Chains A and B, each alone.
Chain A
Amino acid sequence: MLDEKMKYHPDAVIDAFGRVAAAVAAGGPRDAVLSLIASSVCELVDADVAGVTLRLDDGMLMTVVAEGVEAESFRGRIYPPEGTSTDRVLRTGEAVVVDNLSAVPVIGARLPGVALGPSAFVPVTIDGPYGVLSVSRLVNRPGFTEVDLDVIRCFAAQSALVVQNDCRRRRNVALDLIAEQARIAEDLHDTAINEIFSASLIMSGLANQAAPEQRELVVKAINALDNAIKLIRQAIFGLSESRALPDGRFDLYP
């Protein structure tokens, strides 16, 4: 245990966390910050490749960032979850550690040309497992120690913070758009009420000139118009009692 700790130089740890914390706080583009996290964790635990994979709305998995050896073959990859360690982590919420990833049949078959050995898949947890931070060394290299896993978990938590803040920001942008549309709707409704008013004024004039049996019809129409105005007014101004808010869902790609 003592030997393991000595592998980490305090300066390296503080530097890495300081860099990541600053990037997370600055709130840059999600994938840029996640890339920094992936490269920092790679460097710190002496891994060869690291990436963050998220589940898409359609259930497919997408490796949104990857850093390290052959990173470009992982980055942006979209694949079905069946049989993957990532899927297992997403379903159980528990980290999965594999001694030799290239020996796992499904994974080995999917990544020709990249022989990954010791690998750790750690959940990125927001409100339950939301994504996975995966970190690998090349085949035949030593496995990750408990201390390595602690570091990876810690960076996974930072990734979760990034994804959560990004989801909230995106969601607010989408909500703002809806609010703007609602505002336009309200403006238009005011115009609509004016129009209905002028219709009912015309009809009041008509009611005075009409024969008794026609008059009844006109009054009925005027009442319908009044009702319409009342409904619109209610819709716009009478909404003080708000309904319970639905749970905030984190939309990945709205």
Chain B
Amino acid sequence: MSVRTTPDAVVAAFGRVANAIVSGAERDEVLESIVSSLRELVDADVAALALRLPDGHLEVLAAEGVDAELYRGVRFRADGTTVDRVMRTGETLGVENLSAKYPRQPPLPGGNPGPAVLVPLRVAGPDGALAVMRLAGRADFEEQERELIRAFTDQATAMLEGDLDRRRGAVIERINDQARIAEELNSSAINELYNAGLTLSRLYNRTSDRETRELVVTAIEVLDHTIKLIRQAVFGLEL
């Protein structure tokens, strides 16, 4: 196993990540903390996380390590890439030399990636992948390190699921807030209808014309029915 993967380093990294997740920090900030803790823990040179955008492209939301600024924020077409394969199969993929798969790519300033582990991110919303790389020429990742990479990907998944639920909650809450205002306004509407009904009752008492009285009674009935409908809508929804 790698010299750096000591039990207390694992404990410290998992504690840090979980605390970052529940601290209420911004999503991308937490993702950065996840990839940087992981990179350190498994002695990798680069760690990055990408999610699929609504248009199908992938965007690197977090990257740490060598040439991280070149990865961070990059949008790319998934088709045919190693990341795409990982997302489609849903299986963790270990690659001995990632650069060999992209012979036409120009060399990166900090050195090209060699051994890499890619893990699919399965979230209810957009899916994605987490990738951890060492520079070309370094030793491949060991099984224990792969296990840690999978576990950290799981933490990222838990974080993203929670974040999706939080955002969804905020949207529904706004809608419900509007509905509550509607409810308040509706009680004023009922008052207005009452007033109309009272006015009509007075009219009924003052007139002796049969036809007029019939019309007034019909109008009052319609009003009563309307009030009932609004009441039902506002209060009686456990129908």
CA distance A21 to B148 in the complex (A): 10
Contact A175-B169, Cβ < 8 Å, known A188-B229, A209-B211: yes
A220 on the B face (CB < 8 A): yes
A210 on the B face (CB < 8 A): yes
* B22 in contact with A179 (CB, 8 Å): no
How many of chain A's residues have a CB under 8 angstroms from any CB in B? 80
CA distance A198 to B222 in the complex (A): 8
B78 on the A face (CB < 8 A): no
**Interface members, chain A 152-169 (any B CB < 8 Å):** 153-154, 157-158, 160-161, 164-165, 168-169
Pick the residue among A21, A125, A151, A214 that contacts B207 (CB under 8 A).
A214
Report, nearest first, the 8 A-B pairs whose CB atoms are least far apart. Answer: A182-B179, A157-B18, A188-B233, A235-B185, A224-B196, A25-B154, A154-B15, A199-B222
CA distance A119 to B126 in the complex (A): 43
Contacts of B230 on A, CB cut-off 8 Å?
188-189, 192, 232
Q: Supply 29 A–B pairs (Cβ within 8 Å), ascending by A.
A: A8-B7, A10-B1, A13-B10, A14-B148, A17-B10, A22-B151, A25-B157, A154-B11, A158-B14, A158-B18, A161-B155, A168-B169, A184-B239, A186-B233, A189-B229, A196-B222, A206-B215, A217-B203, A221-B199, A224-B192, A225-B196, A228-B196, A231-B188, A235-B182, A235-B183, A239-B181, A242-B174, A242-B178, A248-B169
* A168 in contact with B172 (CB, 8 Å): no
Contacts of B26 on A, CB cut-off 8 Å?
none
Q: Is the interface of A mostly helix, strand, loop or mixed?
A: helix
Pick the residue among B162, B169, B189, B229 that contacts A161 (CB under 8 A).
B162
Q: What is the minimal beta-carbon distance from A13 to any residue of chain B, in angstroms?
A: 4
A73 on the B face (CB < 8 A): no
* B237 in contact with A150 (CB, 8 Å): no
Q: What is the minimal beta-carbon distance from B154 to any residue of chain A, in angstroms?
A: 4
* B215 in contact with A202 (CB, 8 Å): yes
**Count, A-B residue pairs, CB within 8 A:** 246
Contacts of A172 on B, CB cut-off 8 Å?
165, 168-169, 172
Pick the residue among A10, A191, A213 that contacts B6 (CB under 8 A).
A10
* B212 in contact with A209 (CB, 8 Å): yes
CA distance A246 to B176 in the complex (A): 12
B55 on the A face (CB < 8 A): no
Pick the residue among A150, A168, A192, A248 that contacts B8 (CB under 8 A).
A150
A147 on the B face (CB < 8 A): yes
Contacts of A22 on B, CB cut-off 8 Å?
150-151, 154
* A192 in contact with B11 (CB, 8 Å): no
Contacts of B24 on A, CB cut-off 8 Å?
127
Contacts of A186 on B, CB cut-off 8 Å?
179, 182, 233
CA distance A198 to B161 in the complex (A): 50
0 or 1 for each of A179-206: is its CB under 8 Å from B? (1 = yes): 1011011111101100110110011011
Residues of A within 8 A of B (CB): 5, 8-15, 17-18, 21-22, 24-25, 27, 125-127, 147, 150-151, 153-154, 157-158, 160-161, 164-165, 168-169, 171-172, 175-176, 178-179, 181-182, 184-189, 191-192, 195-196, 198-199, 202-203, 205-206, 209-211, 213-214, 217-218, 220-221, 224-225, 227-228, 231-232, 234-236, 239, 242-243, 245-246, 248
0 or 1 for each of B96-107: is its CB under 8 Å from A? (1 = yes): 000000000000
CA distance A158 to B239 in the complex (A): 41
| Further contacts, 10 of them, CB under 8 A, given A168-B166, A175-B172 | A10-B6, A13-B10, A14-B144, A25-B155, A171-B169, A178-B172, A185-B179, A192-B233, A196-B223, A221-B203
